[in-house]
Amino acid sequence: MDAAAERRFREFVSARSPALMRLAYLLTGGDQHAAEDLLQAALTQTVAKWRTVESPEAYVRQVMYRQQVSWWRLARTRRETAMAEPPETAGPDATAGADLKIVVRRALARLTAKQRAVLVLRYFEDLPESEVAAVLGCSVGNVRSTAHRSLARLRELAPELSRLEEPGAPATILGEVQT
């Protein structure tokens, strides 16, 4: 578009926008935001054909009518429900999981190799005590006592984990470390 045509378009928009906005407002059933969108879409289509348009206001009005009918047809197939306020849905706090992973990793790093092995095999791999004993070459009683002492040491090293003291919590804590 050349400078003269652009100037004429800008003059048209500034002079006729209030009247066109009222029409858009009425076409959208009093929805101010939808009216602004409708007028913007119509003006966008108009500027593309500005050189060939003989009666700009009539053209914009026709585009607005057709665009609004198109939107009405789409609305029937979409079946969206308009609400005054969007429903508040809070997603899970991803940072809490990351913080927990860091705490668990640091605490596990401060355990002995045998303590880490017992906890990982018993709670992360979910092996029964007898299989953990077979893998580590020790007795089942040794696995039980080592697991008990290791969990106590974890609680000591990371008091933040005490809030997770629920049945099955060690498996949950160690399961989150790997991911």
| 165-176 per-position pLDDT tens digit | 555 554 445 544
Cβ atoms of residues 72 and 78 within 8 Å: no
Separation CA 135–CA 121 (nearest Å) = 9
Residue 114 and residue 138 in contact, taking contact as beta carbons nearer than 8 Å: no
- Residue 93 pLDDT: 66
pLDDT band at 41 (very low <50, low <70, confident <90, very high): very high
Q: If you compute the radius of gyration of the chain from its CA atoms, what whole number of angstroms results?
A: 34
Taking a C-beta distance cutoff of 8 angstroms, is the pair 174, 120 a contact?
yes
pLDDT of residue 77: 64
What is the chain's mean pLDDT, rounded? 82
Q: Evaluate whether 121 touches 114 at the Cβ level (below 8 Å).
A: no
Q: Which two tokens stand for residue 167?
A: 């049945």
| Low-confidence winner among 23-27, 69-73, 132-136, 174-178 (lowest mean pLDDT) | 174-178
What pLDDT is recorded for position 80? 61
Q: What is the pLDDT of residue 163?
A: 65
CA distances (Å), origin 177, targets 22, 148, 149, 158, 173: 59, 19, 20, 14, 7
Domains of the chain, each with CATH number or no CATH: 3-78 (no CATH), 95-178 (1.10.10.10)
Measured distance CA(176)–CA(179) in Å, rounded:
6
| Measured distance CA(179)–CA(162) in Å, rounded | 21
